[in-house]
Chain A
Amino acid sequence: MQIFSTPKSIKKDSSFSFCPGCDHGIAVKLVAQIIDEMNLQDKTIAIASSGCSVTLYNFLDVDCIESPHGRACAVATGVKRAHKANGKEMFVFTYQGDGDFASIGLSESLHSALRGENITAICINNTNYGMTGGQLGPTTVLGQITTTSPMGRNIEYHGFPIKTAEHVALCEGSAFSARVALYDIKNIINAKKQIKKAFECQLKGYGFSFVEILSNCPTNWKLSPLDSHKKIENELSKIYPIKVFKDITND
């Protein structure tokens, strides 16, 4: 394999520790490319949280703090506001999983969106708790087998999954909310475009911006990377539409 170039905002001595074929690697790379392109490296404070997303600070070469599980948007609020009180505008974003953002941290996440907190949240939705070995999460789809829904998620027993990007879009304080995917080149290009738009919303002071990245989890889904991407294309994107739900810059 030949490496042509690495984004400036990726640490030189690091290598991703994600499972082979996991979309996290692509997501982090996109974020790093955008930080480079928007010249944000020395103005950025990133918030990592619990789960697979926590190791962000090992790869991304920006100031970074790890948040307790689910509280990333609250920590980001403190970071952003404290700098503002000191007369400094910093670029602040969270990088979270769906369990983090939409289950244990739903209160902190939605209240940050409702307040119109001028931060960006990126949420990797892989429809299960990845780091702990694939348990039922808030986004696990109906019928999906996990280690804690061995007979598949059903409405009577487990209840419904959450459509996070749609919920964020309903908050009056959110400026931008989109769901993207990374299963092919076309979608990766679109994902980059939407993350960039979310970042721009913050830089312009429009309020809370959010990108949900519909991702694979080949290890816990027990599928090859290729088949896991097919599953996103053919099944999951029908349930979780790839779409911009809110963009006040278009209004």
Chain B
Amino acid sequence: MKEKTLLKGNIAIAKAALNCGCSCYFGYPITPQTEIGEYLSFEMQKNNLAYVCAESEIGAINMALGAASVGAKVMTSSSSCAVSLMQETLSYACSDELPIVLVNVMRAGPGQGYIFPSQGDYNQTTIGGGNGDYHIISLSPSSVQECVDMTYKAFYLAQKYKNPTILLVDGLLGQTAEPCILFDNPYKEIDNSSWALTGAKNRPSRKIHSLEPSQNKLNKHILNLKNKYDLIEKNETDYEKYMCDDAEIILTAFGSLARAVKAVVNSFREKGLKAGLFRPKTLYPFPYDALKKIASQAKAIIDIEMNLGQMLRDVKLGVLSDSKVYFIGKPTGNWLKKEEIIDSVENILKENYANI
């Protein structure tokens, strides 16, 4: 059994990436994720791995595209406004079916915003700013331990489905040090010898491209991608439900904010109020079915986010009813505290549910 160590979220991600064989990192500095690139710059050079201080995030994500095309495990990391610059290539990587791991340690926006913590990139991650029918697998850790777990998982899912995967980390989590166990990568290696660009030796040459001038072929390609996304939705949807089985009030939250919400649930339970927490661990695919099942027996669903209600839309799609879905949130600044959330929840209940 490995020992617990005290690690910042950003460093935990960097260490986990190295542990599971990441051989290429390309990045450009931006707060609050810079420690990932700083940590890897030394470790990767020391081990003769590929590390480039890219000229821009556009350069970085395209170097990642190239490295992914040869079958390497590749990661880049960035933050919010700079992830905006990478949207074009993420769309290409989806069409090219190339595995890239992108870590987004969120800051507040829109525009340059500032380095305050926020969860404002839910829409950017799950909907995206690229063109065409595509999806990016997105994982949302709520602790430093989950930063480790989900970094391993991000590499695994990216390779397994040949699709970009985003690890969406709250700025708060990237900068917070917590005890965690840096266990070995639990996932098996994926064989990419059937498609990687390794030189046409003793086999026909390969081409990786998204341009397709034949309408039939392009249609077929996009439908094939859709089949893959259906499979991802079927196999990889992941969530945590805490005290949801008998809950009358379901609180939904993602990322590190969900931990404050869990404390809120405990407080309500002590008071005799049947509350529960529902936390998506995969933002795409979103656990609509699981939420729908839980919500059917609940009287109120209250979504809590450090933004102005971005996951709220997915929550409503899961619940399939506007009438009992409420929202608590703010765009940035200090993380919502347990007491603030309790007050807001009680206000919502008082205004709408006389008998709870």
Contacts and interface: CB of A to CB of B under 8 A. Distances in A.
A47 interface: yes
Nearest to B69: A65
B74 interface: yes
Interface string A11-34: 100000000000000000000000
Contacts of A90: 70, 198-199
B50 A57 contact: no
A37 interface: no
Interface string B42-54: 0000001110101
A42 B200 contact: yes
A47 B209 CA distance: 10
Size bracket, chain B contacts: 35 or more
Interface residues of A, number: 40
Interface in A71-130: 71, 74-86, 88, 90, 107-108, 111, 115
Contacts of A62: 199-200, 205
B98 to A, nearest CB: 9
Given A62-B200, A64-B208, A82 B50 contact: yes
A79 B197 contact: yes
Nearest to B73: A82
B207 A81 contact: no
Interface stretch (B60-68, B302-310, B314-322): B60-68
A54 interface: yes
A44 interface: yes
Interface string A199-233: 00000000000000000000000000000000000
B65 A63 contact: no
A75 B62 contact: yes
Interface centre among B49, B89, B209, B211 (most CB of A within 10 A): B209
A85 B72 contact: yes
B88 interface: yes
Interface string A42-59: 111101100000100110
B63 A43 contact: no
B23 A75 contact: no
B197 A78 contact: no
A65 B52 CA distance: 20
Contacts of A58: 207
Interface of B: 23-24, 26, 48-50, 52, 54-56, 58-60, 62-72, 74, 88-89, 92, 96, 197-202, 205-211
Interface of A: 11, 41-45, 47-48, 54, 57-58, 60-68, 71, 74-86, 88, 90, 107-108, 111, 115
Sorted nearest first, the 7 A-B pairs with minimum C-beta distance are: A78-B66, A82-B67, A74-B62, A78-B63, A81-B50, A66-B209, A75-B66
22 contacts: A54-B209, A54-B211, A63-B198, A63-B199, A64-B207, A64-B208, A65-B96, A68-B62, A74-B54, A74-B59, A74-B62, A74-B63, A77-B63, A77-B66, A78-B24, A78-B65, A82-B71, A83-B198, A85-B24, A107-B58, A111-B54, A115-B52
